[in-house]
Structure 1
């Protein structure tokens, strides 16, 4: 009973260890808001498109997104509340806002669509504090990302500035720097205290670049935003430079899909033409497309040559079989002719020897053979000798034909090998021996030449470039030099 209990305990520990080893999938949440149709300010032309395109991009890379378009104060508060609940213990939380925002007394505010901001009271009660967004992000246990495409030219700033001298508060252009926390990434569409452009196309320059870079797999978040910075700087001819504040202890990737390099590393030695074609379609601009096309071409040529090779083997096997049958029949005829001639010679020798007489008796007289019989014997012997010579000539002709067949086989094999770009056999193991046909013995002259042919060296070099070269292949490549 003790043994059973121990076994049960061991199984329970093993099961628990396996359960702990299973890593739950990362949970990623985001809040995306795009405000455009402001009632007390000019509408922003791109913010709705910016928000919708950002929602699509984030959902594509695995984020659960709370989204809102043209939200009033109540709508923004409701969306922020829902997001804060989702962010609890999330592995990553992201906030994106496109719309009007401004700084007041060093604190940042985001503007709902119905806000009417004429004084500091409107600031306090008709806007959303950015600090409330930071509080919601901090519910997440992992990476926190805040993206603000809100540094637009804000008309509310002008209204507040008129009261600034008499009310003792400060109003500035753009957004004020946000105090960063551990594990937080803060990206501004432009530098602090500066104004960002709306853009003339579908999106603002900042969001257009950000959506484009999120679609690129394998970009660490810092590298991603640096690329966004450069893109915006180039697009605006240096008039706008996004700003990044980052405080991460490790790497984080918005798009965790495999890169073209990851996929190519996995399939570069594959003989699956479907996988290679899918790679070319998926990454048409990849640096590795040339290698993929080269390998695909090699495999397609091998497939064609392999089919031709099988046909060639069957054809030569049939011709060799017919030739061997002729050879056997000719050999049988030669043996028969040789036996007949030998029996004739023995018979003539026996018939020509004198009979043996008994001791003491008189010698036996031998009657000479008739002239007609001697003539017939000579004619028969000549006929048998001619038949033997004819059979031997037939055997020699068949042997010559056999050599011609072997030479033809080698020539055709070399032509097929040249099509493939290798030398020697076209068998899957790439042996350098000629194709072995049934009944065809390999003579020393048939052996593979020493050294490496240029076609084989070309293939070995290509396989080395593709990283698909075995140690034996590397040794063969050294022989090419």
Structure 2
């Protein structure tokens, strides 16, 4: 057993070191919520209710969305209602929060409330006891939970059994009232009535009753404390019915409770406001289109998208200039290689010693002419060699001069390309006010401010003995107009962020001072 315990301990330590999730203890498990939802409409011995089934189904769907395990049923008879309450009571035993919702006929009899199954025939006291479901039985099921208990009753419709029971009131000692009687509240319980005690609620003409329609709508709002939520329901029902119906709330909670525990728009905005992820802002605008922060989210999204577009354009421009600069560098290297070779050949030609004058045999009048001696150079050959040597030297000198003119032309093209790039950078920076290409590592860089590549030699470096060749004057570089900048001024990227914060109203005193420098 000791070895097993050590083994699991080592696994836990390894998972912590690797950042993997560790299985939580049962005490740390998430909150467990259970709800019972019943909606009765198709009554056999009472008027059919038009929207109670819709009320129950919509309520069950809303509770499931906020984390409740729902036991639900519609058009239940007495046995069906008893089975639903029994199943709910078992699930409620270890639940942290429980809720009961009922839509249908209900009435009070001798100060006690009863819920009416769809097949019930309520004629006398005996049928009340054995054909209906006592609300106290549901309260008993709720009390199996040690957590928050919520009871919601949209059952205060006009009672069709009042007249039948009232006929027997003269001979029997019981009382029949309109609506539902007040329920004795217990600690940790919330009881919400569709209308005030002993009053009748409206069925409504839409899909839902006014009370359930308002309740479902408010449950969808995250971050509402239960008391605040029901107060908003009260106001909605009062306004929708023109003051004819006012829900009643009985609350006995020691702390706060939230039906919808999802993040509010304020919570989400606080979490994403400093993010640069556009998807976060798109999701926020989609989830909270009417939020107070939606305008800020759209502003931030627009700036991020503009920045992304500018970055793409900047990268495309950088690649284009990199390709052009690379091609220009290759041309410079080829021209420099050819010039160096021509200059070397010319230097070698000029460094060669002049050929000694050949000895020419003089004719003797006393002797007969003889054939020239072996190795003797004729004057015609000497003259031809000198002409050829001179022509070769002139050709090499012209080649060197032509290559130097080509290099000078390439230097001019380099300056023109650098000027074009600077103008495009300025235009792009003026459009966004933030982005320049100066931060990009573009290789090779042939800008005027960059050092020349190692392989490239200056045009004035000639081998010893090579005559200087006058090249056409290169075009003078255009004067660069330097803007006078405050040495304390922040960088363009910093100014961009400060301007963005200013639009969102998030400037600190230090940022406000920097904003003045940016301007």
**Normalized against structure 1, the TM-score is what?**
0.76
Cα gap change, 1:9/1:330 in structure 2, threshold over 3 Å: closer, same or farther? closer
| Correspondence 1:439 to 2:445 | yes
Q: Max radius of gyration: which structure?
A: 2
Further displaced range: 330-339 or 265-274: 330-339
After TM superposition, give the deviation of residue 413 of structure 1 in Å: 1.6
Cα gap change, 1:278/1:164 in structure 2, threshold over 3 Å: closer, same or farther? same
After TM superposition, give the deviation of residue 112 of structure 1 in Å: 2.0
CA contact (8 A) 1:150 1:189 kept: yes
After TM superposition, give the deviation of residue 438 of structure 1 in Å: 2.8
Distance 2:249 2:351 in 1: 114
Which consecutive residues of structure 2, in runs of 5 or more, have no partner in the other structure?
Answer: 14-21, 353-392, 451-479
Q: Deviations over 1:358-394 (max 9, x none)?
A: xxxxxxxxxxxxxxxxxxxxxxx99999999988776
SS in 2 for 1:103: strand
What corresponds to 1:402 in structure 2? 414
Cα gap change, 1:167/1:13 in structure 2, threshold over 3 Å: closer, same or farther? farther
What corresponds to 1:55 in structure 2? 60
What corresponds to 1:76 in structure 2? 81
CA contact (8 A) 1:146 1:187 kept: yes
Q: How does 1:13-412 map to 2 (within 5 A)?
A: 20=25, 23-324=28-329, 398-412=410-424
CA contact (8 A) 1:232 1:242 kept: yes
Distance 2:201 2:44 in 1: 21
After TM superposition, give the deviation of residue 180 of structure 1 in Å: 1.0
Q: Deviations over 1:44-95 (max 9, x none)?
A: 1111111121122222222222222222223222221221111112111111
Cα gap change, 1:416/1:297 in structure 2, threshold over 3 Å: closer, same or farther? same
Cα gap change, 1:344/1:42 in structure 2, threshold over 3 Å: closer, same or farther? closer
After TM superposition, give the deviation of residue 403 of structure 1 in Å: 2.8
What corresponds to 2:500 in structure 1? 462
CA contact (8 A) 1:269 1:468 kept: no
Cα RMSD over matched residues?
4.7
After TM superposition, give the deviation of residue 398 of structure 1 in Å: 4.5
After TM superposition, give the deviation of residue 147 of structure 1 in Å: 0.3
Q: Deviations over 1:191-215 (max 9, x none)?
A: 1121110000111000111112222
After TM superposition, give the deviation of residue 102 of structure 1 in Å: 1.8
Further displaced range: 337-346 or 406-415: 337-346
Cα gap change, 1:220/1:339 in structure 2, threshold over 3 Å: closer, same or farther? same
Distance 1:439 1:455 in 2: 23
CA contact (8 A) 1:434 1:447 kept: no
After TM superposition, give the deviation of residue 19 of structure 1 in Å: 5.2
What corresponds to 2:436 in structure 1? 424
Cα gap change, 1:182/1:388 in structure 2, threshold over 3 Å: closer, same or farther? same
After TM superposition, give the deviation of residue 460 of structure 1 in Å: 3.2
Distance 1:329 1:415 in 2: 34
SS in 2 for 1:253: coil
CA contact (8 A) 2:108 2:177 kept: yes
SS in 2 for 1:155: coil
Distance 1:21 1:79 in 2: 27
Distance 1:29 1:75 in 2: 18
After TM superposition, give the deviation of residue 96 of structure 1 in Å: 0.7
CA contact (8 A) 2:415 2:448 kept: no
CA contact (8 A) 2:415 2:447 kept: no
Distance 1:463 1:267 in 2: 14
Cα gap change, 1:38/1:339 in structure 2, threshold over 3 Å: closer, same or farther? closer
SS in 2 for 1:212: helix
Further displaced range: 100-109 or 460-469: 460-469
User: How many residue pairs end up in the alignment?
Assistant: 451
Further displaced range: 166-175 or 95-104: 166-175
Distance 1:9 1:391 in 2: 81
CA contact (8 A) 1:182 1:248 kept: yes
Distance 1:323 1:272 in 2: 39
Q: Deviations over 1:206-230 (max 9, x none)?
A: 0111112222222222222122111
After TM superposition, give the deviation of residue 471 of structure 1 in Å: 12
Cα gap change, 1:41/1:408 in structure 2, threshold over 3 Å: closer, same or farther? same
Distance 1:249 1:128 in 2: 30
